[in-house]
Structure 1
Amino acid sequence: MDIDQLRTFDRIARDLSFTHAAARLDVTQATVSMRMRVLEDHLGVQLFVRGRKVALTDQGMTFLPYARRILNTVNEGREALRRVERGRVTLACLRSMVTPMLTDPLLRFQARHGEVDVIVKEGHHNNVTTMLHDRTAELGIVAWPNLDPLVPDLYPFLVMREPVPLVLAPHLAKKLPAKPMLADVLELVPRVISLCWWQVDPEGATSLVRRARTSVEIPTGPARRLAVAGDGLGFFVRSAIAAELKDGSLVEIKPVDFNPLYRDVALVALNKNVLEREMIRDFAHEIAAECARLGTIVENRLG
């Protein structure tokens, strides 16, 4: 089985014609027929019903998505090689940090390195560590400390601490006393909006959810809308609600008997040698500058 055979199989399946497939592939019809005979012999099944009309057999329909998956993987590999020749930086990031942490650094980086491809992938913590483990990302932005047993020895170049404030809609916050207790808040707003900012929720977050009459766990976008509408008390990383805090559609509250929450995130790699590449080192420094703006840098090994 080879790529030409799979490409020919896919082309016939699209055109349902050996003649049209030969024309599109710029080979003779005899070549197309020969490739299919060899492929069918290798698989031990008949892929097409041949006659005045060509049709996929049940076996052909079953095999088709696998053949296309192989062809797509080959194309992705070729594109990756072309990107390496031009220069490439690949980074996997926590979904909540893509916009606040990477937008401005990317703009500054590409202003200096317009010829370099930058590939940013997003996901939850375990998605990011998997991409690092599989070498589909060179740098990662993860929750810290890393508790994923798949990749236990990530090297942290930078650790940033960001506040996770409790927020309410302003019309509700005005009803609270000047120095509210947590019981005052939960009496006014019995629903807590819980978001998974941590790998393991800190005691303050779990205690708040336990004390609430009801709780809801939803993605960040709808959670923000719920909080703005006054339908819940939420704890959000500050960068996720910066716009709402600025325009006043959400306000931070500080119950006197509730310890402040925070989240640490880290810029990591499988090993520190990735910074030997100038473009990766430059991009990492741009991210560090943004971290300093967003929160407090508690560790910096970038040099």
Structure 2
Amino acid sequence: MSRDHPDLEYVAFERDDPAPAKGPAAPAKGGALLRRLPTPVWQTRQKDLPLLSSPPELSKTWSMRFTGRASREMESFAFATTGHATLKYVAVVVPKGVRPSAWLIYFRHTAQAKDFSGNLLELGAGDYIEGRMQVAKQIAISEKNVGAILPIAMGSCGEFAGNQAFVTKCLEEIELSLYGTHFKPMLLAASNSDGLFQLDKFLQNCPTLRTRLKGIYDFDGTHHVKSGGISLVVPGARTFRYEGRLSPTPETVPGRDWPSDEIFLTRRMSANPAMVPLALSRWRQHSAFGSIRPGENPLSTHKKGDPLNEAHTMVDFNWLHHHIPTCMLHHGLVSTPGL
């Protein structure tokens, strides 16, 4: 079974990969970095994962509910780079009929050649937009006027990880292509898994763009590195770091007797950056929970912090690592002031 990143994310199934989408592409104008492509048929490894029911509950109750439904219509676009850029493609998804008031730049985890067969755009973007990461659905259900930009290159996010002039011009060209004019809306940034390192390079090397950031979302980068060393602290931005296997529970925070889950969660998540604990016991209502706890009643009462109830094997760790980005963008967008 192939993986989109070795030993970090399980893949429920993998279908035969069709050839890259073909069709007339708009020619790039003189000096342009991007040329717009016909939107391909996106490919996915998994679809229709549960969405959060109510993001505010994350700071109030331990068990998360998954009954959310997205009704807003979204549309997607694709661009290829011109010249000799390391970046190969940029995928874009926006709410239909509305110009975004903020762009979310999403730094995906490392794309490896062994996982693609001439379909880096279709699968590399599709599995984020419509598949496992379901970015379109999460934006739709958040009801925020946000568009997402997904830069794609083999082994990195290319120039988006640190070339400020390149990123700025790409943003302008995308807006010109889709809306006829360009301006400087708010920016948001997200990273999944080891995309954290690409996000950090962006923050370090794009100071002007960094000043436009209003929200930063780290989906389990702590799977690779503890929060020390990459702080994601940006003045004026609300930062959320979603933690899987390193999640604390009320029982594992030394020297504290928490009177309630709500107090524990609120204090953890009211800081900025907010460390969002997503211990395994919080996921018991997730429809796929039985894949790692077969034969167990997921709604039975268990003591939080009990090693038998929390993540304690790589199977548990990888399950968490896989599912965090499938629904937590919803929480980040809803919880970011000013969007």
TM-score, structure 2 normalization: 0.25
- Indicate the structure (1 or 2) with the bigger Cα radius of gyration: 1
Higher helix share: 1
